[in-house]
Amino acid sequence: MILKTSADPEQWIRKPAGTVASLGALKDVVRSDAVRHLLSVYDDILGAAGGGLPSRQAFDPTSLGKYLTNSVLYDVSNRDRVVFRIVGETMRSHFRVNPVGRCYLDFVPDERRQRALTSFRHCAEIPCGMLSRTRQVFASGVSRYCEAVGVPLMGDSSDGVATHLLFVDSPTEVGLPHHTDDSPFRFAQMLERRFIDLGHGVPDRFEDLVLSGESNPFDVEEAGWIRRQRGFGAPERIRTSDLCLRRAALYPAELRVRLARNLLAAGRIGKRYVTTGSARP
């Protein structure tokens, strides 16, 4: 979920969107249980639709079970608007207002608004699915990495255009560290976007805007640079700049660096040195 923030124009760079060949292939890509459950639910209603894409009426929100709190249902029947219709409790906590009935684009940085709208239109009109990954930053300076998957739900007309997009957004175990406190949510940064082929194709070309210098830990982990055990705590080992594996004793240093970057990005402090759990000039 991208909440509105601003950046200098030179901080934005273009990044081509990737693709996923099928819903089955996506299951090998996603990292969170919540997203995997959405894929299972959508697979079931795809089967019930007899090969076509499912309708909005075919989707039962209770089928998401405990992950309903991580879900958002967008109304995309108006070409120029993306309206929140259902927002789970966890997702609603990201906003200072109740977003139901409001336009999603109102919460997107001005620089990214048109691209965000275009990505939703692709999902509705092709139609196709979408995977997005973000870094979410909290007021404490702690961040977490999340992934969201959206799938189209068709309307009553036979024009082949989806009227709703169903998303589930969930933290993953990629990146350091996990969010473990109750501080307010500040903003999110887009890391990557991939369109999912549901049998009707994907956009020929789409370029997103991402902040320059923002690393993507999903790529980092897949490249083998950082390996993290499941659950909380430090990784068993991390690979350092001299290409040597170090024990988890190095983790606090990396945590302090990441906390400092996040706090500066959130605008909560000036040029101050940050240690774990405290800050001093």
- 175 in a structural domain: yes
CA–CA distance, 44 with 23 (Å, rounded to integer): 12
> Residue 145 pLDDT > 60, yes or no?
yes
Asked if the model's pLDDT at residue 242 lies above 90, the reply is no
For residue 267, being part of any structural domain is answered with no
Better-scored residue on pLDDT, 7 or 199: 199
Q: Is residue 230 part of a domain?
A: no
In percent, the amount of the chain with pLDDT more than 90 equals: 38
Can you give the pLDDT at residue 182?
57
CATH number where 44 lies? 3.30.450.20
Closest C-alpha to 208, from 97, 128, 277, 131: 131
Whether residue 77 lies inside any domain: the answer is yes
Number of structural domains the chain divides into: 1
Is pLDDT at 248 greater than 70 in this prediction? no
Q: Looking at the predicted structure, is the pLDDT value of residue 75 above 80?
A: yes
Q: Judge whether 55 lies within some domain.
A: yes
Write down how long the chain is: 281
- 63 pLDDT tier (thresholds 50, 70, 90): very high
| Residue 31's pLDDT band (cuts 50, 70, 90) | confident
Mean pLDDT of 242-262: 46
Which residue has better confidence, 272 or 106? Answer: 106
Residue 166 lies in a domain: yes
> Residue 256 domain-assigned?
no
pLDDT of residue 2 exceeding 80 = no
Does residue 185 form part of some domain? yes
Where is average pLDDT lowest: 54-58, 99-103, 196-200, 226-230? 226-230
pLDDT at 97: 79
Q: Domain range for residue 174? A: 12-214
pLDDT at 173: 63
Average pLDDT over the chain, rounded to whole?
74
Average pLDDT value for residue range 39-59: 89
What is the pTM for the complete model shown? 0.72
Q: What percent of the chain has pLDDT over 70?
A: 67
- Residue 138 pLDDT more than 80? no
Task: With a cut of 80, say whether residue 176 has pLDDT above it.
Answer: no
Q: What is residue 215's predicted lDDT score, i.e. its pLDDT? A: 54
